Amino acid sequence: MNKTYAQDTKDLAIKKIMNREQRVPEVARELGISSSTLYRWIKLKREEKNNSKSKFLMKKLESRLEEISEEREVLLKAASILAREIR
């Protein structure tokens, strides 16, 4: 049976471990949680963090791509105008 833990408990446990205040077995004993549960929470937190970084980077790259595409269109129009003037 899976036991449900409050988000505050999860956050506190992860914070203690990630900030190197305590090790996983110590936090597990203190909170009465299995070490494997804590490792799973940590893994999920890291994946969440990586996903948010990836999403941020993806948005930034999409925005830059849009800017460059617009600049390209302007340059193509300018080149076609210059080509017509040269003829």
- Is residue 58 one of the residues assigned to a domain? yes
3-state secondary structure of 62: helix
Question: Range of 25's domain?
Answer: 7-86
Residue type for position 67: E
Residue 1: the pLDDT is: 57
Residue type for position 18: M
pLDDT tens digit string along 2-60?
A: 788 889 989 999 999 999 889 999 999 999 999 999 999 999 998 988 888 888 999 99
Contact 16, 41 (CB under 8 A): no
- Is residue 2 one of the residues assigned to a domain? no
Provide the domain count of the chain. Answer: 1
Of the candidates 42, 43, 25, which has an alpha carbon nearest to the alpha carbon of residue 34? 25
Report pTM: 0.59
Contact 29, 1 (CB under 8 A): no
